[in-house]
Structures are given as C-alpha cells and as structure tokens.
Amino acid sequence: MSRLTSLCLASSLLAIAGCDEQQARFADATPEQLSRAYSAAAGNDLMSALFLGSVFSGRNDPAGCPPVATQGQDTLVSGDCTDEDGVRFDGSMKIHNLPGLEEENRAHDLTKSGSVDLDFEVTKPEHEDIAVDGHVERDVADIAGDLKIAAEGITSISRLTIECATDGACTAASDSEIEISDLGVASVEGTWSLSGPPSGSVTVRGADTIVFDINKRDRVGCVPFTIGEKTDIVCLPEFDRVLTPTDPRSLLKAVK
C-alpha cells in the first residue's frame, strides 16, 4: 500500500475531506489553505510543537491551569480546566527530554532524543479553538513527526522526517508528505534552513506543484511561492507566529 493511499485511509477515519481527489491542486487553494500548506510542509508546525513542549518542560505547577507536573525528564501537562480569562484547556501533553526555556529547567540528555505527544485542545471564550494531536520527536538535529492541527476551519496533517546537517541545512526524507482538508495530499521535498539565515526551498507536489522560496523569508515568516507561472506571497498562520512567552499560558492564548 502506498503512503498516499494509507494517508487517505487514515484521514477518512479522522473525517478529513480531500481524499476523493487524493492529490492536492494548489492552483485551486484558498490563501488560508496555502498558508497551512506552507506551515505544514516547511516543518513550522513540528517546530511549534517542540517549542510548546519546551515552554512547559521541567515546570511544576500542579495548581495552575493547565496543571504541570515534572518527574525527572518527563513532564505532563493536563487539561480539564478553565483559567481566569475563560480559556478552556482539555486533553494532555506528554513531554520527554526537551530543554525548558528557563535556566533551571534546561537539564536534558543531549545524546538522546526528545519528544512531545499532544492530544490537546484550547478553546477561547469567543469559541475560537485549536486542537493539536500527534507525536513530534527530535533526535539531536533531525526532526520527525506525525502531527494534526485543526484551527480556523482547516485541518492539516504533517508526516515529515527532516534530516539536518551541522550547518543547519535540513532535507525532507523521501516519504515526507502533508494533507490539507478539502484540498488533498502532497509529497514534500527539498533542502532548507529551519534556523539561522533563511536558505533553500520547499517543493510540494500534488496534482500540481508549489514551491516555497525559504531563501527570501522575511522576519515574520512570509515567503514567495510559485505555482506554474503564478508567483505570490504566503505567510504563516497566526497560531504559528508566536513569540517566546513569559507565562506558558500566554502561548496557548495566542493560538487562534
């Protein structure tokens, strides 16, 4: 069974549309779908999940909302609570061997992989919500994940393995792929930088091909893209454009 076929079968169980046509046609995509395709294919979603794990890693705040408990290199973030601003947290997040953002929480084993498992949902009083489900792992420099994000009426799936060299250049493994609801599935290829000076490009192939020019990424994460003879600009979704917070709850509140 091919990876594209297996992805469609799995997605049907998740009630994600798009597999009737199977392959994404980016020329027909909305700006919002293109934004999510860029975020998923370039590894930004996986990096955001790892960053979210680092925000909570090493903390102990059992009375907070959401509650956080750490034992050794394992941190559990629990849901089933509503904070003072009316933001609802449900589900859980399991973090293993990720460095925390604060100095006292940065102890981790650099020789072993770190990971975050998410089954987490945040709902704001205005009923804006985001649901994140999946697993992301970082092994020294390489990143791999199977991650689903549902937000703003669009569901995206990233099934990526990104192999990174010491100079910061990262290459998508041959079986890397994404799916965007109501659009379809597509393979991901290319070499680009996930950190440091922007470089490289991401090529995403479905029924047609879109190329994201990471080399020209600006400070807020917007990049030029090309579909056939069409060239335009696409930016990261709002929930991916988060700054390092002083309070981990502020990160979750920024997710829309």
Look over the chain and give the mean of its residue pLDDT values, rounded to a whole number: 85
d(CA 34, CA 231) in angstroms, rounded, equals: 13
What pLDDT score does 145 carry? 97
What would the mean pLDDT of 172-187 be, rounded to a whole number? 97
pLDDT at 241 over 70: no
What pLDDT score does 114 carry? 94
Task: Fill in the DSSP letter of residue 66.
Answer: S
Please spell the DSSP secondary structure of 184-234, one letter per residue. Answer: EEEEEEEEEESSSS--EEEEEESSSEEEE-GGG--TTS-EEEEETTEEEEE
3-state secondary structure 138-170: EECCEEEEEEEEEECCEEEEEEEEEEECCCCEE
Q: 72-115, pLDDT tens digit by residue? A: 999 999 989 999 989 999 999 999 999 888 766 667 777 789 99
**Weakest-pLDDT range from 110-114, 206-210, 235-239, 252-256:** 252-256
Residue 228 — pLDDT band, cuts 50, 70, 90?
A: very high
d(CA 178, CA 39) in angstroms, rounded, equals: 10
CA dihedral 101, 238, 49, 232 (to 10 degrees): -120
Task: Fill in the DSSP letter of residue 128.
Answer: -
What pLDDT score does 240 carry? 65
Q: Check residues 21 and 79 and name the one with the higher pLDDT.
A: 79
What pLDDT score does 175 carry? 96
Domain ranges of the chain: 3-254
Contacts 24+ apart (CB under 8 A), 123-126: 123/87, 123/88, 123/90, 124/86, 124/87, 124/88, 124/253, 124/256, 125/85, 125/86, 125/87
